[in-house]
Amino acid sequence: MVEFPSEIWKDYELLDSGNGEKLERFGPYIMARPEPKALWDKTMGEAEWRRLSHVRFKPGAGFGRAGKEDSGTWERQKKMEDQWYISYPGLQDGLKFRLRLGLTAFKHVGVFPEQAPNWEFIYRKTRELDRPKVLNLFAYTGAASLAAKAAGADVTHLDSVRQVVSWARGNMEASGMDGIRWIVEDAMKFAQREARRGNLYDGIILDPPAYGHGPDGEKWKLDESLFGLLRNVARILKPEHSFMVLNLYSNGYSAALGETLVREALGKAHLSSGELALGDSFGKTLPLSIFVRVER
């Protein structure tokens, strides 16, 4: 199963892809960024990419190295704001929020647009539950947290980077929401502590990186740490009337591998899995991550 963002989302568009890059429009601005999975040729020529782009990301010396894989600098080609906002209008009534975007030193801009189908799932499952508690681990700038909050959840948002948590708080405020619980901590330590305390959640969202560090220097390596984290998640996810979303970007991971990891960690549950992808304006499909969803 391959899922794409809805075409009703007018603030995002993948214009073209190929030769290791993607050309995207976020609101009024168009940017060219590296994309290792774009193995085919571009449809538009280089001159057209340059003509359209407001900014292009140039990989730095650390590009491709673990922990530095997305480092580099942005080269502006047209005048544009340092920060700007886009809106997400969900497919379901009541699902809408705003996100602040900006040019970071790691080729990211503050949102992963292919995640839109996960936001839709989170919103739908949260609305089915009575006063649910939802935990978002590795929560980045908070789009999934906002989807859960819009559905009425008591949301705990955790990330190891304080500046990113502040960014997410700003997105909540810009979306006219409040009441999200913000935590700057290592995800594994937090899950272990919650398990010891006997705290349970109706929904848990995980979007772990391949490599990372906690606020106190804790090391995260996906291959070595993911299964242990999932086993801790199994201890804090309610056994009935609950859901979980796992998203993985790491190359080499498949939906079948993700399903096996989740099944072995969580036991009996209804699982669904697939790929999240973007389609460019010329009909090429760019797969970017795999997901596993649990429904109990």
pLDDT single digits (tens) 123-151? 999 999 999 999 999 999 999 999 999 99
H/E stretch holding 195:
helix 187-197
Contact 102/170 with Cβ under 8 angstroms?
no
pTM (2 d.p.) = 0.94
Which pLDDT score is estimated for 142?
Answer: 97
CATH superfamily of 2-83: Golgi alpha-mannosidase II (2.60.40.1180)
Residue 68 pLDDT class (50, 70, 90 cuts): low
What would the mean pLDDT of 180-208 be, rounded to a whole number? 97
| Band (63; pLDDT cuts 50, 70, 90) | low
Angle CA 18–138–82, to nearest 5: 60
| Statement: residue 173 has pLDDT above 60 | yes
Specify the range with the lowest mean pLDDT, choosing from 7-16, 69-78, 92-101, 269-278. 69-78
Whole-number pLDDT of residue 61: 62
Task: Report pLDDT for 24.
Answer: 98
**Residue 205: per-residue pLDDT:** 98
- pLDDT at position 105, please? 82
Q: Do the beta carbons of residue 161 and residue 184 sit within 8 Å?
A: yes
Pick the CATH number of 112-295 from 3.40.50.970, 3.40.980.10, 3.40.50.150, 1.10.600.10: 3.40.50.150
Q: If you average pLDDT over residues 164-189, what whole number do you get?
A: 97
Q: Where in the chain is the domain with CATH 3.40.50.150?
A: 112-295
pLDDT of 65 = 55
- Rounded CA-CA distance 86/236 in Å is 34
Residue 212 pLDDT: 83
Q: Are 182 and 153 in contact (CB under 8 A)?
A: no
Q: What are the backbone angles phi and psi of residue 256, rounded to the nearest 5°?
A: -65, -40
pLDDT at res. 62: 55
Separation CA 287–CA 271 (nearest Å): 20
- Whether residue 199 is predicted with pLDDT greater than 60 in this model: the reply is yes
**Can you name the residues that pair with 57 across neighbouring β-strands?**
74
Do the beta carbons of residue 99 and residue 107 sit within 8 Å? no
Residue 244 corresponds to which tokens in the numbers above?
A: 């979980």
- The yes-or-no verdict on residue 296 having pLDDT over 90 is yes
The pLDDT tens digits of the residues spanning 8-42 come to 999 999 999 999 999 999 999 999 999 999 999 99
Q: What is the pLDDT of residue 218?
A: 85
Residue 47 confidence (pLDDT): 97
Neighbours of 14 (CB within 10 A): 22
Q: What confidence tier does 119 reach under pLDDT thresholds 50, 70, 90?
A: very high
> If you average pLDDT over every residue of the chain, what do you get?
94
Pairing of strands 270-279, 243-248: unpaired
Calculate ∠ Cα 161-264-186, nearest 5°. Answer: 15
The 10 Å Cβ neighbour count of residue 7 is 8
Looking at the chain, which residues constitute the CATH 2.60.40.1180 domain(s)? 2-83
181/32 Cα distance (integer angstroms): 35
Cα separation, 27 vs 51, whole angstroms: 17
Answer for the pair 107, 63: CB distance below 8 angstroms, yes or no: no
Query: Average pLDDT for residues 242-256, to the nearest whole number?
Result: 92
